[in-house]
Amino acid sequence: MFDDFFVRAMIGGIGVALIAGPLGCIIIWRRLAYFGDTLSHSALLGVALALLLELNITLAVFGISVAVSLLLMLLQRRANLSSDSLLGLLAHSALAISLVVLSFMSWIRVDLIGFLFGDILAITARDLIIIWGGGGAVLILLMLIWRPLFAATVNMEIATAEGTRPEYINFIFMIVMAAVIAISMKIVGVLLITALLIIPAASARRFSTSPEQMAVLSAIIGVISICAGLMGSLEWDIPAGPSIVVAAVICFVLSILPIKLSLRNSH
Amino acid sequence: MLENKDMLVSLENAGIFRSKRWLVKGVTMSVSAGEIVTLIGPNGSGKSTTAKLALGILDADEGSVYRKPNLRISYVPQKLDLNWALPLTVTRFLCLTNRAGISEIETALASTKTLHLAREQMNNLSGGEFQRVLLARAILRSPDFLVLDEPVQGVDFNGELALFSLIEDIRRQLNCGVLLISHDLHIVMSTTDRVICLNGHICCSGTPATVASSAEFKSLFGERVASGLAFYEHKHDHEHLPDGGIHYPTNKTNASINDSTKSNPVSGKIPALADTAESDQDSDNV
């Protein structure tokens, strides 16, 4: 009963979940959820530009995400506005501009809903190569910078003083984040990427005693959400992207139920 | 100032300018290997800013800062806020910026009397325990240059004395330079080689005895403090309010307001603990 497209969706989804888990932990620890939201909203601008200039969509989204991150860093230095205002400003101006650009291109029939909510069941073999190739590269990069990245997450000043070069590490982190947004857009869509990043990580929090444990656990919870969501989508004929996010939310609700944890009380 | 090849860090006429004012200006100082230099001064006098200049966290807007190449630095910041979403054991925290074996970690923890906390979560530590763990982490790195910004805050009086003698031991064992920021003038005076008294600029500096008897020091901290340094007797009969005022516990209304604001974070914590205990019981009953 598992059609070919369904297997592709499963493999692609698992690939995204594996990288979204650890990255989502960093996002939660750094209180960057709105940054993720801003990047994913501006991803639509990448889509619009890709269609206009006939570029590869994933690459265009990656490029725009990096550009928006750099613009944010620049604005944080120049403008006298708080970060949350700047994030809102960037997110919605990018979204509005992309909708305007798309509306001009009447010759292209754009499935806007597909971009907003994802189209995991339409994953091609080529998408799988991008997800596992790009995702694998990103995961390796993240593992290489994990220790200094974590040190910078705990305290920038200690990290700077003790020579772990946090500025440089933060720049790599920004690239990693842009790449993950670009890769996961097809799976859950622009509107739900942040959910895929932070909900598994939030669910993993209660069961974790170390940062590395939380990163691995949230990847596992992400994979469970992808599998459960896709099954649910097939079973009840509901859209796959939202179904995956709902599965993740159910994991989160289960994680906060007051069930006694025998492991923690054993010593 | 004496030029020597053991000089670890030096500031030359350094200043930081922020929001239309100089936080510190014209600071010239140095720390050499095996030396404990203490920065003292009132709130907002630029003690932490000076330390951050020396560490390279802030770049000088004027003057220059020299740091010996490949200097191994440990930094205990004045404040460290950990996100509650961060699962972090004491042991993992000690390996934040360096790798270390279990036995080294245990030695470092034992030296600050926190070995029993090794598997505890950082978020569950008390203020004093937290501070000891921060110091243990700094020691574990076997630094050449150790910067401690108010390292004994929240530590009880006897523990404070023990930590200061520990800092002296570390200095002797590692022959490292120590830059210490402290508001506790009395203890500072006994452990330090050199005291620098800051108030936006360097008011006076020298050996503890010179500084304590200098006119600038007396005008900054008052005659009473300066003379009390000789025959120090710990008698804390008042409370320092956040706005810089002083409060004597005779005024009952003020005292109760003060107490309630102070105990809030604690009372906020206790019901939460009670809740989990209750839910644990519930699941036992089921």
Q: What percent of chain A is modeled with pLDDT above 90?
A: 31
**Residues B141 and B279 reside in one and the same domain:** no
CB A58 within 8 A of CB A66: no
Residue B127: which of B101, B100, B155 has the closest Cα? B155
**Residues B182 and B249 reside in one and the same domain:** no
Domain limit, last residue, from B209, B224, B242: B242
CA distance B97 to A265: 30
Identify which has the larger pLDDT, A24 or A108.
A24
Consecutive H or E run containing A57: helix A57-78
**Residues B112 and B225 reside in one and the same domain:** yes
**Residues B63 and B88 reside in one and the same domain:** yes
Say what the pLDDT of residue B258 is.
41
Pairing of strands B36-40, B21-32: unpaired
Q: A161–B282: do the CB atoms touch at under 8 Å?
A: no
Summary mean pLDDT of chain B: 76
CATH class of A4-254: mainly alpha
CA distance B182 to B191: 12
Assess if residue B39 is contained within a domain: yes
| Average pLDDT estimate for A42-69 | 88
Mutate to test the interface with A, among B31, B48, B88 (most CBs of A within 10 A): B88
Residue A135 Cα, gap to closest chain B Cα (Å): 25
Beta bridge pairs of residue B11: B29, B65
Q: Domain holding B126: CATH number?
A: 3.40.50.300
CB B193 within 8 A of CB B37: yes
Say what the pLDDT of residue B229 is.
53
**Residues B198 and B248 reside in one and the same domain:** no
Residue A64: which of A46, A87, A90 has the closest Cα? A46
Domain range annotation of chain A: 4-254
CB B88 within 8 A of CB A154: yes
**Residues B11 and B108 reside in one and the same domain:** yes
Say what the pLDDT of residue A229 is.
92
Residue A22: which of A155, A138, A118 has the closest Cα? A138
Assess if residue B2 is contained within a domain: no
**Residues B37 and B161 reside in one and the same domain:** yes
Residue A260 Cα, gap to closest chain B Cα (Å): 6
CA distance B252 to B258: 10
Least-confidence region, from A15-19, A51-55, B140-144: A51-55
Assess if residue B156 is contained within a domain: yes
Find the CB nearest B56 among A148, A154, A161: A161
Residue numbers of the domain that contains B231: 7-242
Which portions of chain B are predicted below pLDDT 70? 1-5, 187, 189, 222-286
Identity of residue A127? D
Q: At what angle do helices A193-205 and A211-236 cross, to 10 degrees?
A: 120
**Residues B69 and B206 reside in one and the same domain:** yes
Asked if A145 reaches chain B (Cβ–Cβ under 8 Å), the answer is: no
Residue A221 Cα, gap to closest chain B Cα (Å): 17
**Residues B153 and B262 reside in one and the same domain:** no
Find the CB nearest A260 among B89, B92, B283: B283
Say what the pLDDT of residue A107 is.
73
Assess if residue B139 is contained within a domain: yes
B-proximal residues of A, 146-205, CB under 8 Å: 148, 150-151, 153-155, 157-164, 202, 205
**Residues B262 and B125 reside in one and the same domain:** no
Alpha-carbon distance values, B5 to A119, B31, B32 (Å): 66, 11, 8
**Residues B224 and B256 reside in one and the same domain:** no
Q: B97–A164: do the CB atoms touch at under 8 Å?
A: yes
| Res. A219 pLDDT band, cuts 50 70 90 | very high
Taking CB atoms and an 8 Å cutoff, what residues of chain A touch B134? none
Distance of CA B266 to the CA centre of its chain: 22
Chain B residues whose C-beta sits inside 8 Å of any chain A C-beta: 52, 55-57, 73-75, 77, 80, 82-83, 85-89, 92-93, 96-98, 119, 121, 141, 147, 276, 279-280, 282-284
Residue A200 Cα, gap to closest chain B Cα (Å): 13
Q: What is the pTM of this model?
A: 0.79
Assess if residue B17 is contained within a domain: yes
For residue range A187-201, what is the model confidence (pLDDT) as tens digits? 778 877 888 899 999
Least-confidence region, from A152-161, A216-225, B114-123, B243-252: B243-252
| Res. A36 pLDDT band, cuts 50 70 90 | confident
Identify which has the larger pLDDT, B258 or A237.
A237
Summary mean pLDDT of chain A: 86
What total number of domains does chain B contain? Answer: 2
Assess if residue B126 is contained within a domain: yes
